[in-house]
A and B are shown apart, each in its own frame.
Chain A
Amino acid sequence: MEPSFLLVQSLSGLASASSLFVIASGLTLVFGVTRIVNFAHGSFYMLGAYVAVTIVPWLLEFDRSPWLFFLGVLASAAVVGLLGVAMEILLLRRIYRVPELFQLLATFGVVLIVQDAVLWIWGPVDIPGPRAPGLRHGVYIFDQRFPAYELFLIVVGPVVLGLLWLLMHRTRFGVLIRAATRDREMVGALGVNQALLFTGTLFLGAFLAGLGGALQIPRVSASAHMDLSIITEVFVVTVVGGMGSITGAFLAAVLIGQLQAFGVLIFPKITLVLVFLLMAAVLVVKPWGLLGRPEPAAGRAALPEGILHPRHFGRLEMALGAAALAALIALPVFADAYMLKVATEVLVFALAAFSLNFLVGNGGIVSFGHAAYFGLGAYAAGLLVTRIGLPMEPALLAAPMAGGLFAALFGFFVVRLSGIYLAMLTLAFAQIAYAVCFQWVEVTGGDNGVVGVWPSAWAASRQAYYYLVAVLSVAGILALRHVIYAPFGATLRACRDSEARADAVGVNVRKHRWLGFSLAGSAAGLSGGLYAFSKGSIDPTLLSIPMSVDFLAMILLGGIQTVMGPVLGAAAFHSIKDLFMPLTDHWRFFLGASIIALVLLFPRGLGGAFAMLRSRAGQRRLAAVTAA
């Protein structure tokens, strides 16, 4: 290959890196200060592009000057920044006191709402933006033509980096941001107005995302799918760089841009998985990313975000449980075929959600990639039935084994990390598994998947299959529940609450977490196998990020601090989705709005709300008894 081509290809990589960095710097700032995993960051990027394709052409009507173009871009970024402020004031500020993960659920609700709002405001047709005046042309670099606008983008990245450095080191606001990134509690204790600091940070973060989107309009059209296509990549950049580190994000973006530009020459299909391979590799070697620091709370005994005291069932819970069980058994008598179908799915998801909360709530292992084990279980069962011709029964045995095996394999690396890095490594492994299912067409059927995964004759009717799912799912949930109350579950909680103390009393922390991870994976695998037979097909969407996010939403809605909450959450989430989907095209909007409403009403989830009612009632009874 000629050197001039290599140079131009590398410049292409730098241009992509620059755009990626601008967006990622905002995410990393917001995370550093507020500890919020902001799923809505991609939505801000998309809004930036949409606002820009609206404002900039209008400005260019007056005069086709580059200055007006860039004024429009900055104005769009500012508009998006204000939307970030609105999100902070109206939503996030109300839930800072609850476990940090709930804010993730709230931002997920925002993602859904913005998706539909964009369709509603701008319509479904992609909108191409104008090219930048004065930068429309190509520039010759030796014999290769290169877009002038991309040369400009290459400069933008380092300029933004420089400006952020100045902001961080030369202004009081920046110093406070750095301080809060290092130790948020200490900043609060020293009397800094946290509300103002958070609002300012959200403005800056959303502004940068909006800027990244607005700067893209001469290259890509604004479309309603931009948010999800960028958000994972941006997460990868921030994590590889080290959460909270702006310079790290810059390094990571450059690394990814170059790998992408040259990777496609050797592996033309690499873009699907490249960034996740890189993230997995970096996290296995450097557990806090390239330039990140260990999380400040890591050495401190913090209030854990999960199941504190697993309560045994009292008389009321026993009665409710028995009623629920009776309802399960009687359901086929009064439900129509479709309701039975939905109930089957709720049971499947309840098991998957319960297994996830076994990790998150009980083990403090936040997995963003739980769908991997669900999906791999489904694939194991589905492939055995369709490719080997096994009947359903042995295939259903293989599902939890596959889920457990892969959880053991990935978990071996995962449990070495903690916090957000651990979460992102689970995401990386899930995406790698997804890519294999997607790409290995001969065996997995690629993205079309495999059809013909139907139950054996005796379980083929909706009623029979419902009972099969009910038995296995309830058994799975009860087994996991038993483990939570058993010494093994208590040991996992000890590892979650204080690694150092657990270690000091002789617990092999890693081994316990690893076993816990594998157990949860095998339960998810069983649930995936059951799902495959209820749908008749398997395909990569079963392992995809949206599926993992759905599981997270279920446990958060249900409440990660309660043992049985995830079951409630799965039922609520699936019912809300099923309620709105037939009603309107804009069901995502209503799903998102419902999630946000539930987050605001029940900031500890449905299970948490129940527990609170219960303890209040208990106190009242106690008061009545003492009064008597």
Chain B
Amino acid sequence: MAAAALAGLAPARAQGAPVKVGELNSYSRMAAFSVPYRHGMQLAADTINRAGGVMGGRPLEFVFRDDGSTPGDAVRVAEELLTREGCAFIAGTFLSNVGLAVADLANQRKKLFLATEPLTDAITMAQGNRYTFRIRPSTYMQTRMLVEAARGKTQKRWAIVAPNYEYGQSAAANFKKLIGSAIPGAEIVAEQYPALGRVDAGATVGALAQARPDAIFNVLFGPDLTAFVREGNTRGLFERRLVLSLLTGEPEYMIPLGDECPDGWIVTGYPWEQVEWPAHKAFVEAYRARVNDTPRLGSLLGYVTVQIVANLLNKAGTLETEKLVDTLAGLTTDTVSGSVTMRALDHQGTLGAWVGETVLRGRTGTMRNWRYADGANYMFPEAEVRAVRPGA
């Protein structure tokens, strides 16, 4: 794996000097997400290079680096990519604090940064800058998708459980702000913020049940989610209660849940095996043939990112940063996940997410009754962006 990352991606047909793009991510600490993500990128880059590369025949080459999962390490790695490796621009990062630090470095060094995975609203809002773009739907957008799905329900008493860090806090804050518009008279009766990765599931479930909510908004994920679901299942926390849950439908979190997957939670996620778009089906086939594993959301995001990068390079026709930034603002790309536009106002991509209900099929969970929520319909209102984003 490391050798492949080092060697980059050998071009088959593309000729000329390669266009180098730096990609830093938590390949070591968050491997469950980022390794499929890198597979998706490599697949896309190979496909593009076989078809003749970018900018009139130059091969597209990604230089992959671990970001160390801390802002300090990530900023050093980003500098390495920009100086020693001579990358035209950088992409990636996983954690929000890492993404924000690299975004600010990009602003300082006047280089383009394509944040792919960090979900924090701040990266395009209060701390947005000219040189930073974000592809994934933000915390706000995903929360809004879920709240829309709850429109028309009658549950008034809500409990919130979220990991105690920025992602959890801002998801909870967005939820509090939005739920009233979907369900008039909704109130929050309990909130629990266990430390990330250290949920005391028994105590948390007990505290939530004690408030006798009608519905629960969950932001826990990963090992915390598994512990919470098991404890809640045994104690009957989810019985006769509506549950909205962020990201739970993504294969990254569905697979570890196994047969504990709850039934009928409304979630955002990625039911990859059910998406019938032709381009997407071709992506899934090519991915499975190459990687010998099922795609994750990370795989899709990696593929989409490379498609956007290739489109950007072809349209801009230069590696000059200011030109790249101007081209990317407002650029629309046809991707395997539909059409994605990088909104010029706040540099947020319109990539969407799938919203549906969880269901157990066989030994793993998946989604049913889902629909694709196009990110374009869930962006921050323009007035709000203008109020917070510097220079917007």
Which residues of A are at the interface with B, using a C-beta cutoff of 8 A?
A: 1, 5, 8-9, 12-13, 15-16, 116, 119, 124-128, 131, 136-138, 144-147, 149-150, 218-221, 223-226, 229, 233, 260-261, 264-265, 268-269, 271-272, 336-338, 341-342, 345, 438-439, 441, 446-449, 451-452, 454, 531, 535-537, 539, 541-542, 546, 578, 581-588
Contact = CB atoms under 8 A, between A and B. Distances in A.
A30 B209 CA distance: 40
B122 A448 contact: yes
A564 B180 CA distance: 63
Contacts of B70: 541, 546
Given A223-B223, A269-B193, A5 B206 contact: yes
Nearest to B203: A261
Contacts, number: 205
13 contacts: A1-B210, A8-B206, A12-B206, A116-B28, A128-B226, A219-B231, A223-B223, A268-B192, A269-B193, A336-B83, A541-B70, A582-B80, A586-B2
A145 B2 contact: no
B136 to A, nearest CB: 16
Interface string B13-38: 00000000000000111111001000
B72 A535 contact: yes
Contact of A537 (B101, B120, B230, B260): B101
Interface string B187-217: 0000111110111111110110110000000
Nearest to B236: A145
Contacts of A448: 96-97, 100, 120, 122, 166
Interface residues of B, number: 71
Contacts of A449: 71, 97, 100-101
A208 B366 CA distance: 38
B151 interface: no
Contacts of B29: 225
Nearest to B75: A535
Contacts of B210: 1, 5, 9, 265
Contacts of A8: 206
B104 interface: yes
Contacts of A588: 28
A482 to B, nearest CB: 30
Interface stretch (B251-259, B322-330, B332-340, B372-380): B251-259
A128 B230 CA distance: 10
Contacts of B235: 138, 144-147
Contacts of B195: 271-272
Nearest to B256: A126
A536 B203 contact: no
A99 to B, nearest CB: 29
Contacts of B231: 147, 219
A447 B166 contact: yes
Contacts of B202: 12-13, 15-16, 147, 150, 261
Interface string B150-192: 0000000000000011100100000000000000000000011
B127 interface: yes
Given A119-B28, A223-B256, A446-B169, 16 more contacts: A116-B28, A126-B223, A127-B256, A147-B235, A149-B234, A220-B226, A225-B29, A264-B204, A268-B191, A269-B193, A341-B79, A342-B76, A447-B97, A448-B122, A536-B101, A587-B28
A583 B2 contact: yes
B183 to A, nearest CB: 22
Nearest to B255: A125
